[in-house]
Amino acid sequence: MYAPTSTNSPRSGPTSGDDDGLIDFDGAGEILRAWGNGLRPDPELTVSEWADRHRMLSGRASAEPGRYRTVRTPYMREIMDRLSPGDPTQRIVFMKAAQVGATEAGNNWIGFAIHQAPGPMLAVQPTVELAKRNSRQRIDPLIDESPELRERVKPARSRDAGNTMLSKEFAGGILIMTGANSAVGLRSTPARYIFLDEVDAYPASADEEGDPVTLAEARSLTFAHRRKVLLVSTPTIRGLSRIEREYEASDQRRFFVPCPQCGHAQWLKFDRLRWQKGRPETAEYHCEGCDAAIAEHHKTAMLEGGEWRATATAADPTTVGYHLSALYSPIGWLSWERIVRSWEAAQGSDEAIKAFRNTILGETWVETGEAPDWQRLYDRRERWKSGTVPAGGLFLTAGADVQKDRIEVDVWAWGRGLESWLVDHVVIEGGPDRHDAWSELTALLDRSWPHERRAHLRIARLAIDTGYEAPAVYSWSRAQGFAQVSPVKGVEGFNRSSPVSGPTFVDATEGGKRLRRGARLWTVAVSTFKAETYRFLRLARPTEEEMADGAAFPPGSVHLPHWVENEWLKQFVAEQLVTVRTKRGFARLEWQKLRERNEALDCRVYARAAAWIAGADRWPDEKWRDLEDQLGAAPTDTDPAGQINRPGQAPQGKRRSDWLGRREGWF
């Protein structure tokens, strides 16, 4: 039978009698209160509650520094709270416009996870470089400005801190940041939380190992119902947009706000925003219930009274989807007046309207890809001196398509706004196995074309397809030098962030030896440039009367010479963009041939890629002016000393250096 071995066992705490003296000293009450607070569990906060209590916005990363207030963007409350551990939702999809506060909401979730619900987390940007930038500009300020996070994530300078540019360790978890272009980063570790930002800018495949979204989400499967996945993006092109595909598979929630006049709940649509033509400052929203005009100052109260409502049934009950346009942007951010100004400024440019729909309305752009009728292009041919570069052309690029029995080359001149002129069409007989064919192509690089301003232009850059007999193409390209020749590989699909990527070094064979850094290969998203070409062909042209009054062709206009033949025109419009359905029922855009031969369109795409590689898409106005100066632009005025000046040109004697054309040997 058990009996206690001592009757004088110590007590675990103060009681009565003689023990009262144990707490009879100054500060005893504070110690007891602190002891009791330490035993009290932390309050169960949602992500939005945590943000309101603990999040501080840094002046380095926010236009409104100070304490974060969810009431500033009430529509973000439900989205953030779906990310809380107590909510059963596993996947949150947010298709949105710019300037609605989505990035800060995602950062709130990261801070909440570090402080309240630690676990492994993966945050994915479109590229590794963007992940590094986001770490410096967003994540570091998030941690530095919040005491609760600072004490959990050690400074990067401490020894063995576990805090690097792309990795932040904390008690109970780790935040890994990577790019969608890195398969290694996507499969690096299991993750309970996954934040996929700007998914429509992700490449089609991560290092050719598969879809980045699929690879990233696979990291969370072992966490079953405890996982949380947030997908955020502005959309791009219908049929290709990842975020639209995910949103359409969700319950498709819209934010309904009440009309201040009649109380009718509605979600905001751009076609209900009305204004006097040419006066964006008169913009008002018209209620779809009572048609009363709503001034923008009512927006704050409308947002506070708004709520998310599902408009569809989700295929997966653990997934919810949200859509929000910039019409909801709070007072002081993007106003209705600025939205109207953006819309009016975009008129006449498909590219600008596309950007408006994507970034302001948060909607996809419908890319028709309809091939213009070749007879219409025939009727629109223009007459200028054969073999001469028209006055607007400032530099030349060429696209070469290698076939079994010939090499076809088209030479294009490019001007401001990517206005273009077909200058020459060359067919070199004999395939890549014929030495003389390569010699003729080499001679083409040394050839020059007369310009209307009496200069002579050489090909600034030639892009040549490697799809047929790639080793022969690599060998020739290497011999010519990669400053003027760019081997290219066309890949299907659109790429919003960069239609051309590279160069990457690829092996090439020379004399039976394998060269480790043999050729520099550029990858071209051909769908992007095909769609652009067809948009440019659809641009309205000024009439002869309008041109006589000084009207100019719109940027991007494509000029075809009178000597171009019917066969070339048919090849130029030989494909059409169509929507096809995948086995899972999703829409996908695909270019399909309307006829067998399409070399003219391919050569145009390669020549356009060559212009992109040369930098034309990124040149400032000063560089275009320098090219015009070097070609001898028509004088427009004379300074007091009698020297001829041109628009934007410094007086003679103070001219800018010939930075481009002559330096590169283009003319």
Residue 2 in domain: no
Q: How many CA atoms lie within 13 A of 313 on its CB side?
A: 0
Please check whether residues 447 and 326 belong to one and the same domain: no
Please check whether residues 443 and 315 belong to one and the same domain: no
Please check whether residues 171 and 230 belong to one and the same domain: yes
pLDDT at 412: 96
pTM, rounded to two decimals:
0.65
- Residue-wise pLDDT for 549-575, tens only, equals 888 888 899 999 999 999 999 999 998
Tokens of 370: 């309809």
Q: Where are the beta strands (DSSP E) in 478-614?
A: 485-491, 500-510, 513-525, 558-559, 575-581, 587-593
Please check whether residues 403 and 317 belong to one and the same domain: no
Residue 475 in domain: no
Please check whether residues 325 and 437 belong to one and the same domain: no
Residue 107 in domain: yes
- In the chain, the number of structural domains is 2
Please check whether residues 321 and 422 belong to one and the same domain: no
CB of 238 closer than 8 Å to CB of 244: yes
Please check whether residues 555 and 438 belong to one and the same domain: yes
Residue 644 in domain: no
Residue 192 in domain: yes
Please check whether residues 115 and 188 belong to one and the same domain: yes
- Residue 477's SS3 state is helix
Report in angstroms the alpha-carbon separations of 149 from 115, 116, 229. 6, 10, 22
Please check whether residues 407 and 317 belong to one and the same domain: no
Q: Where are the beta strands (DSSP E) in 431-571?
A: 448-450, 456-465, 485-491, 500-510, 513-525, 558-559
pLDDT at 517: 62
Residue 510 in domain: no
CATH number for position 150 = 3.40.50.300
CATH number for position 384 = 3.30.420
pLDDT at 254: 96
Amino acid in position 299 = K
For the chain, residues with pLDDT lower than 50 are 1-18, 634-659
Residue 54 in domain: yes
pLDDT at 5: 42
In terms of Cα–Cα distance, which of 560, 537, 555 is closest to 624? 555
Please check whether residues 317 and 389 belong to one and the same domain: no
Please check whether residues 153 and 222 belong to one and the same domain: yes
The single-letter DSSP state of residue 515 is E
pLDDT at 430: 85
In terms of Cα–Cα distance, which of 627, 629, 622, 654 is closest to 639? 654
Q: Which residues contact 21 (CB under 8 A, 6 or more apart)?
A: none
φ, ψ at 21 (rounded to 5°):
-70, -15
CB of 552 closer than 8 Å to CB of 542: yes
What is the C-alpha separation between 250 and 245, in angstroms, rounded? 9
Which range of residues forms the domain containing residue 438? 374-470+531-626
CB-count burial class (<10 Å; 0-12, 13-18, 19+) for 147:
exposed
Please check whether residues 122 and 177 belong to one and the same domain: yes
CB of 568 closer than 8 Å to CB of 602: no
Residue 20 in domain: no
Last residue of a domain, one of 299, 330, 361: 330
- Residue-wise pLDDT for 599-611, tens only, equals 999 999 999 999 9
Tokens of 214: 């699929």
422: β partners: 412
CB of 567 closer than 8 Å to CB of 537: no
